Structure 1
Amino acid sequence: MYSDKDRREQEKMEKQHKMEKERMRKRRNSHDLEKIELTQTGRLLVNAGHSPDDPDVHVSPYLTHILQPHQLGGVRFLYDNIIESLSEFNTSPGFGCILAHSMGLGKTVQVITFVEVLLRVTSAKKVVVIVPVNTIQNWFNEFEKWIPKYLETGESCRKFEVFLLGDAVKTFDHRVNLIEEWTRRGGVLLIGYEMFRLLIRSTQPKKPGKSKGLPLNVRENCCFGKPTTVSELLLLLMAAGRYAHPLVIRSALIDPGPDLVVCDEGHKIKNLNTDIAAALGAIKTRRRIVLTGYPLQNNLMEYYCMVDFVRPDFLGSRKTFSIQFEKPIKNGQCIDSTAKDVKIARQRIHVLNNMLKGFIQRRTHHLLKAILPESKEFVLLLRKSPLQHALYRNFVMYAKNEISSGNSAVFNPLKAFAACSKIWNHPDILAKTLERKREERRKAQQKDPFNFVILRQPNRVEDSPRSSKGKRNTRIKAKTIQGVMEEEFDITENDQGLQYDWAEIAMASYKVGHIEHGYKIVLAMELLDACVRIEEKMLIFSQNLTALDLIENYLSRRPLRTSTETTSWMKNINYFRLDGSTPGSEREKLINRFNSDPTARLFLISTRAGSLGINLVSASRCIILDACWNPCHDAQAVCRVYRYGQQRRTYIYRLILNNCMEKAIFNRQISKQGLQQRVVDDAQVDANITQKELETLLMYDESLDVVHDKWDTSHWNFGDEVLESVVKCRSEMLAEVLLFSVTASVTSTSPRPGCQLPPAVWKGLVCPLIPFLSPIYCTLSYNKDTYWIYTRHGNRYSLGFTR
């Protein structure tokens, strides 16, 4: 039996579905969206096939020759959903939509093009664009780049203003003044999510209390309307203005609010504070655009939140959506799913795709193949240095003791990751931590001379935490892993309570400053040197700020040798750094200088701070120094160079320490839950890890760390002179080299040198066997495009596949 609440929910859903069917009946064929033929007047028509009552609507002439076919298709998609028809624009409440184009496809320029059309041909006056704060300056610059206020000739180009409510607007009064000016003049308001939250929060009713801010005599006179002096009158007017601020903010941002709201990185709406989500939902206009680079099946509840924002009630309540779609689809994507589970999941995905296809447009990075030069991605699996070998062996023994003792309150996957990263990036980082711990102990000893250090004995397995039913609790509490995915901080410092006794003996006589103790930094520096010699620019990403500090330290002692001169590395001259502490206004200056200055060679970037909203296409090479828990962060980092506007071939180098936790995390990224999750495009990692899964991450075969001779590199050919010049000299540091060819097609790929299979045998025999080969390195995009790699194990060749 349905309750009244369920019945009302069902009626709302049916009404929304009926409206969408009617809208879909009127709209143009989706195949016509990307036709880029110019009209007789040399213009791009936006509303092709419009009703006789509507005039032709064209793209701005300043953007006509800029847009790629998929971008014009995106603009037309936005027009069909947001404007629909000029004749009905003022009478229709409007609809919302989701532009789900992968990173690097130019979502920003599509929105800018559409906003210019909206403000030019309709009665709409105000648009608010809500963005992550680290992208807000980039949005402003993109408006200035594509449709500046004035051209170089002095001719007026953009007919509307763009207001930036960023870090530079410090006081509350100034923020309100800027919002009032935007409300009065119209145009585009750029604002960060956090700023939006604070402003909306300021409009909430406060608890009743004593009136503050005005002297008693002014408050009393105010009641009778009798300010007695000029100063009292000014105070009264200022107070009245402040009391009116909430009304101004609410009127401008909520009700009646803007004519269009755009939410960038919209998949984060679910993870934002509830008051922001509530404020976004309270915006009166139904003309809403969400931008995201993620596919439908990446995280179903995130997509539910986005769909519910752009089309309220379309999918019903969260509970209804979970029962109808989320649970059946998840059940069919597990490694132990039954055939029936898989069948039901596919049916539910098909139904959901059909329901949403009218207002979600998905385009993937494969479109870049037709636009950009080739991109190659290499994974360099590195051996451990002798010191790293000793340290990691000691850590694994310590970790197994902690796991068997059930000490999950102190030891969890995040802390294991934090400790291990100090080993695999460079032992200098671990030495710094040990020195900090010693200093803490010295200070504690000075405060309390009887505060002795006690070395714990490992607990018995029987002492592990137990549930109420008496069973040992094997789930590791790791909620903070989600914080690693969402926030920017130095993960290497997230080790509170972690013991470092296991490192003390191996590091007893250690001296910092010897680069050869960590092969990652050695190879990173030599790849950088080779890149500089051929006059190309490089990016180095790391999620660890201490690793970036270390690189800067080694740069200060290393010469910069170009093809014509030898000089020194100088910060903010020939290299730059961007991390979470870099102010928003300063970020754009650094980016512009790096892109425009031919003497700039290197950009050091924190993965979380610099993986969104920045364009660094002047660089053609990129090093990912360490693997993130969340593979999306690494993918976003790569898209800083492999994106629309890149003119050169790009080369990506991922440095992974072999036979350790980092390699296990990398495997987990690219083969999450096996081949059943081929509907996933950029899979997120789980925030909770079981004890068994943690033990798997820490599996260690010490026999693989025995000393090897150098490889026979005479036949190695990677198609990259920089990589070849380095690995042929440093082959003793390499366990494997994996080539990920981003832009090559499987049907046209021929075997690399050394693999003697004829093409016919390759296509007819090897390809069908790929799913059964092991080990398999894979990420399958939703349209099942695959690319092939080769890895060398001595004299044998193993095959794998990746994106």
Structure 2
Amino acid sequence: MSLSSFKEILKPCSYQSQSSKPQSSYPQSSTTLNPRKPPKSCLSQQLLRLENDYNSFPTKQFKEISEQSSPPNITVEREFEEKEDAGCRLQVFDPTGPYEPLVLSTSDQNPLVQVPASINCRLLEHQREGVKFLYNLYKKNCGGILGDDMGLGKTIQAIAFLSAVYEKDGDITSPSKGKEEEKGPGLIICPSSVIQNWESEFSKWSTFNVVIYHGTNRDVIYEKIESHGVEILITSFDTFRIHEKNLSQLMNWEIVIIDEAHRLKNEKSKLYEACLGIKTRKRYGLTGTIMQNKIMELFNLFDWVVPGGLGSREHFREYYEEPLKHGQRSSAPERFVEIAQKRKQHLVSVLHKYLLRRTKEETIGHLMMGKEDNVVFCAMSEVQKRVYRRMLQIPDIQCLINKDVPCSCGSPLKQVECCKRTVPNGVIWPYLHKDNPDGCDSCPFCLVLPCLTKLQQISNHLELIKPNSKDEPDKQKKDMVFASQVFGNDVDVVGGYTQNESFLGLSDVEHCGKMRALENLMSSWISRADKILLFSYSVRMLDILEKFLIRKGYSFSRLDGSTPTAMRQSLVDDFNSSPSKQVFLISTRAGGLGLNLVSANRVVIFDPNWNPAHDLQAQDRSFRFGQKRHVVVFRLLAAGSLEELVYTRQLYKQQLSNIAVSGKLEKRYFEGVQDCKEFQGELFGISNLFRDLSDKLFTSEIIQSYDKQGKKDEHKYEHEHEHHEHECEGIFGEKHILSDFGMCFLPPQARDTLSAAPENSESFMKKSNKIVAPVNQDLGIVYAHRNEDIISHECGCDVKQEVRACESNQSLPKKKHIGKKGTASLTRPRKLKQYRLLASSKGMQVVEFSKWFLSASLVEREHALRNYKRQREKMPQI
């Protein structure tokens, strides 16, 4: 079919007379048709339109068609009736042909600017809105940020936008249209790992002349650019930084797009300085993590996109960052909280002029089975606890802990300013300063990072602190001294100071708390034919986990930094297509971008990262469009270790991001304020980093402390609780307690007691609205919660709702808290009774039903609900 013919099809159609056209099975109730509607957001509806599959019409329209053509297909009818009954109603679509063109320009603009039909017909509704957003900014000669969640097609939206701007689908039948001045080339800067992906997407979706400026032959490419032989140039961050003069100062780019734009968060980096020199105001960033660690990262990113749009750096810090941070403090005065709310509202209104952010739940949530993010606190082994405590007692860490104590020499100065600035008798300090015995300018704070690394290694596996045979002899000697210091009397228990070469020794889970919990969890998943992604930042930890998988007999694949780039996609395809592949071992650094592993429905993050975006990107390797099963994420943390502090700082950063970017209302758990020495609280400062938490559940105490305070923001609490109850009702039609973790992983004696005496269930569940797992010595899990219950970003509380409530001086109606005394005791037995009845309606015991619930789809859950309701109708006494 020619281009003109295809364009003709896109024009509005009208029915011809019955005699002038072949008989059709379509109903012909009128002589004219309304203009075609834009495509729906549901991809399945778009595919139905394109394939013209009459058997998949919704029930009502199917009946009309079948009356004129063929006998009704009862099976298809029943299938769609069941889908409608389950809440999956498909909207009736108008079978009038392709969609209407996606016109971006106004009616009086000449020439007309529109997205090519070949691209438009494959865009989802949210992608069409994203293209319009980018073009509206382009018309205003300014830049912006497309901040959609990972997996929503930011690359495709950018290509559709570029295709419209460069008129890649121009109407060849109208050569007389006036043309604008010839546009300059477009520049795309992205991580080197996704360059090939960009090139591939351009070849699939458009007809641009694309050139890769990366690697060799750069001089030839530059000559081609100067001769206007290139429309789109793609390069990497490092290449652009090195060749900034050639690519930014000597070229006039029409449009510049930076993929993974959060790389511009540091204003002191060479990359940021290089990007500031690009000679165009049409700068666009693509990123799913607009803010990662600090609010000032927002300013750096938007100051590149829209220079001066957020004012000066000092103005932004004083007017936005400081009030938002101090207003989030748990004991902040009411005046601070009110100011923070006003500044938050103003910041969000300014950002949304240049920012479009959509989540998966808002756009394609109805096409996916959902995701659950569990945080699992695993008990360290007794040996790990003893080694961890010895680590905190070494001279290097004691020097950091006591840095502000008055010096023992009688001087009025602090230790860090006097005699204890260096640590010659330390375990780590002498090696760091072997070439400088007097120390460095940052002593003793240069010890912080090496000591934190050692504590994290102990939390993960004791083998990690032993000398690595691949290291240099000096480092191996230093690690030997360190290991002998912290192992102490347990040296024989852990197999000596040197690296364990025994296969059975490395794969044994006895002395590693997290591996012990992982062993129990994986045995349950493998028995249900689940597929697992297992992430770790440490390659040495991956080696240990690999031996563990071999010992257990699990079939697995592995991808890390040493895996050749050309082989990575084949490994991904093999894992997705092969039922025999059960586990995929992935280095978080190597697998953070570009991997699509939708066949897996269990994701394990073995070690947390200080930057929450890294863990979220790892989760999204599986939770992407195309996932057919419910994804359950398990973040493993060593209870009582530094990893608890890592996770709580992740919570703090995620809350700040939700506040500044989306204007959400977040719970005020923490007293600490980032980058503020006066309010370091429980999160910040060296004293918190090297605190002994081995005898307590640090995170659990903070969350329970927040609950006991009565939740100072009463409106927020009630809205959250209402949302949680609605979720439970939506699945089973009854308010009940359903703990995926608690029910599935109770110890046998607890299961029996709970089944026999539900009124005693308080001993197994916490007295709060959070549903947590009880202590389970067999599994090695001491505490667990859902991250969604802690972070408020899914509860729908935004600034606009709060402002309207304040303006009307009306508060939300008061409701009784389930967590309060006297209420839970009355409702919990009834809820547990309903839970057992739900299980019996499926012919299962309580624990068996809980396990089924973990792997059941939404449709299966709805079927369980309908069966349960039918039984209640037949047996009113239930």
TM-score under structure 2 length normalisation: 0.57
The secondary structure found in structure 1 opposite 2:338 is helix
Q: 1:647 to 1:670 in 2, by over 3 A?
A: same
Check if 1:423 corresponds to 2:458: yes
Q: Which residue of 2 aligns with 1:781?
A: none
Cα shift at 1:622? 0.9
Cα shift at 1:195? 0.6
> Greater shift after overlay, 495-504 or 128-137?
495-504
Q: 1:653 to 1:442 in 2, by over 3 A?
A: closer
Structure 1 segment 31-180 matched on structure 2, within 5 A = 42-47=98-103, 50-54=106-110, 57-83=113-139, 94-119=141-166, 120=168, 123-124=182-183, 126-144=185-203, 146-147=204-205, 158-166=206-214, 169=215, 171=216, 174-180=217-223
Q: Which residue of 2 aligns with 1:325?
A: 320
Structure 1 segment 475-624 matched on structure 2, within 5 A = 501-511=485-495, 512=500, 513=505, 514-528=508-522, 530-560=524-554, 569=555, 574-579=556-561, 581-624=562-605
Equivalent in 376, 381, 384 of residue 380 of structure 2: 384
Mapped partners of 1:337, 1:576: distance in 2: 48
Structure 2 letter corresponding to 1:554: F
The secondary structure found in structure 1 opposite 2:816 is helix
Check if 1:652 corresponds to 2:633: yes
> Greater shift after overlay, 386-395 or 632-641?
386-395
Cα shift at 1:56? 5.6
Kept in 2, the 8 Å contact 1:137–1:584? The answer is no
Check if 1:186 corresponds to 2:180: no
Mapped partners of 2:102, 2:572: distance in 1: 33
Higher relative contact order (CA 8 A, sep 6+): 1
Q: 1:288 to 1:642 in 2, by over 3 A?
A: same
Mapped partners of 2:475, 2:360: distance in 1: 51
**Identity, % of aligned pairs?**
27
The secondary structure found in structure 1 opposite 2:635 is strand
Cα shift at 1:527? 4.1
Kept in 2, the 8 Å contact 1:538–1:603? The answer is yes
Could you give the per-residue CA deviations for residues 287-329 of structure 1, whole angstroms, max 9, x where no partner exists?
Answer: 2211122357974432223222222333343234334434444
Check if 1:765 corresponds to 2:816: yes
Structure 1 letter corresponding to 2:449: L
The secondary structure found in structure 2 opposite 1:185 is coil
Cα shift at 1:78? 0.9
Kept in 2, the 8 Å contact 1:537–1:619? The answer is yes
Check if 1:632 corresponds to 2:613: yes
Mapped partners of 2:147, 2:655: distance in 1: 25
Kept in 2, the 8 Å contact 1:131–1:191? The answer is yes
Cα shift at 1:498? 6.4
The secondary structure found in structure 1 opposite 2:243 is helix
Cα shift at 1:126? 2.4
Structure 1 segment 284-433 matched on structure 2, within 5 A = 284-295=279-290, 299-367=294-362, 368-398=364-394, 401-406=398-403, 409=444, 412-432=447-467
Cα shift at 1:285? 2.5
Cα shift at 1:654? 1.1
How many residue pairs end up in the alignment?
579
Kept in 1, the 8 Å contact 2:344–2:659? The answer is no
Structure 2 letter corresponding to 1:114: F
The secondary structure found in structure 2 opposite 1:366 is helix
Q: Which residue of 2 aligns with 1:779?
A: none
Cα shift at 1:405? 4.3
Kept in 1, the 8 Å contact 2:119–2:160? The answer is yes
Cα shift at 1:650? 0.9
Mapped partners of 2:674, 2:793: distance in 1: 31
Cα shift at 1:601? 3.5
Could you give the per-residue CA deviations for residues 164-217 of structure 1, whole angstroms, max 9, x where no partner exists?
Answer: 334xx3x3xx022234445643332221110111122xx4xxxxxxxxxxxxxx
Structure 2 letter corresponding to 1:507: V
Cα shift at 1:283? 2.1
Cα shift at 1:655? 1.0
Which structure shows the higher strand fraction?
1
The secondary structure found in structure 2 opposite 1:101 is coil
Kept in 2, the 8 Å contact 1:130–1:262? The answer is yes
Mapped partners of 1:732, 1:602: distance in 2: 20
Cα shift at 1:656? 1.2
Mapped partners of 2:292, 2:374: distance in 1: 27
> Greater shift after overlay, 107-116 or 310-319?
310-319
The secondary structure found in structure 2 opposite 1:128 is strand
- Aligned alpha-carbon RMSD (Å): 4.5
Kept in 1, the 8 Å contact 2:146–2:356? The answer is yes
Could you give the per-residue CA deviations for residues 102-133 of structure 1, whole angstroms, max 9, x where no partner exists?
Answer: 22322122112222222325854622110122
Kept in 2, the 8 Å contact 1:137–1:585? The answer is no
Q: 1:68 to 1:438 in 2, by over 3 A?
A: closer
The secondary structure found in structure 2 opposite 1:271 is coil
Kept in 2, the 8 Å contact 1:576–1:594? The answer is no
The secondary structure found in structure 2 opposite 1:610 is coil
Mapped partners of 1:618, 1:442: distance in 2: 41
Equivalent in 624, 645, 664 of residue 664 of structure 1: 645
Q: 1:732 to 1:539 in 2, by over 3 A?
A: closer
The secondary structure found in structure 2 opposite 1:429 is helix
Unaligned runs of 5+ in 1: 1-31, 85-93, 148-157, 204-248, 445-494, 561-568, 718-725, 748-761, 774-803
Cα shift at 1:578? 2.2
Cα shift at 1:508? 3.4
Cα shift at 1:737? 3.0
Cα shift at 1:396? 3.5
The secondary structure found in structure 1 opposite 2:584 is strand
Kept in 1, the 8 Å contact 2:344–2:660? The answer is no
Could you give the per-residue CA deviations for residues 325-373 of structure 1, whole angstroms, max 9, x where no partner exists?
Answer: 3444444344454333333333333333333422211223432433311
Kept in 2, the 8 Å contact 1:591–1:616? The answer is yes
Mapped partners of 2:793, 2:268: distance in 1: 42
Cα shift at 1:768? 9.3
Mapped partners of 2:686, 2:301: distance in 1: 33
Kept in 2, the 8 Å contact 1:45–1:58? The answer is yes
Kept in 1, the 8 Å contact 2:105–2:113? The answer is no
Cα shift at 1:83? 4.2
The secondary structure found in structure 1 opposite 2:634 is strand
Structure 1 letter corresponding to 2:750: D
Q: Which residue of 2 aligns with 1:712?
A: 750
Q: 1:302 to 1:182 in 2, by over 3 A?
A: same
Q: Which residue of 1 aligns with 2:277?
A: 282
Unaligned runs of 5+ in 2: 1-37, 43-92, 171-179, 404-422, 424-442, 667-671, 698-745, 756-760, 762-772, 797-812, 825-878
Mapped partners of 2:630, 2:261: distance in 1: 31
Mapped partners of 1:515, 1:505: distance in 2: 20
Cα shift at 1:398? 3.8
Mapped partners of 1:61, 1:677: distance in 2: 37
The secondary structure found in structure 2 opposite 1:261 is strand
Kept in 2, the 8 Å contact 1:575–1:603? The answer is yes
The secondary structure found in structure 1 opposite 2:490 is coil
